[in-house]
Amino acid sequence: ETGVTQTPRHLVMGMTNKKSLKCEQHLGHNAMYWYKQSAKKPLELMFVYNFKEQTENNSVPSRFSPECPNSSHLFLHLHTLQPEDSALYLCASSQEGTTNEKLFFGSGTQLSVL
């Protein structure tokens, strides 16, 4: 157990559906992240929240909408996705949100868009 919990573990959705991914960390960290992992590609950082404020948005399409109601919870709302959005979505947290510290990852949500 890494202290970061993601739900659901698997999700299949049609292109017109709306769904949400949930992430919760029990580590008292101040920063939370959403990453996208596609086959044979490096991890892609999508969003960073530090002390509940969004500090990074790596040109992610608006069909992905993050929400961070407090430092322990992070959501990724999905709407009108495309088949190429099928991937493993990973949530992570770190103490201070800098690149000088290690990340703690959840187990991910394997998303399939039909």
Partner 1 sequence: SQQGEEDPQALSIQEGENATMNCSYKTSINNLQWYRQNSGRGLVHLILIRSNEREKHSGRLRVTLDTSKKSSSLLITASRAADTASYFCATDDNHAGSNYQLIWGAGTKLIIKP
Which residues contribute to the site for partner 1 (CB under 8 A)? Answer: 2, 4, 6, 31, 33, 40-43, 45, 48, 50, 55-56, 58, 88, 90, 92, 97-108, 110
Q: Which CB sits closer to partner 1, 62 or 100?
A: 100
At residue 74, the 3 state secondary structure works out as: strand
Q: Which CB sits closer to partner 1, 10 or 16?
A: 10
* Beta pairing, strands 10-13 & 109-113: parallel
Minimum CB separation of residue 105 from partner 1 in Å reads 3
Contacts by residues 46-54 (CB-CB < 8 Å, ≥ 24 positions apart)? 46/76, 47/76, 48/97, 49/74, 50/97
Minimum CB separation of residue 66 from partner 1 in Å reads 14
Cis peptide before 8 (omega within 30 of 0): yes
Q: Which CB sits closer to partner 1, 16 or 98?
A: 98
Q: Which CB sits closer to partner 1, 11 or 48?
A: 48
Burial, 10: exposed, middle or buried (Cβ in 10 Å; 0-12, 13-18, 19+)?
exposed
Minimum CB separation of residue 106 from partner 1 in Å reads 5
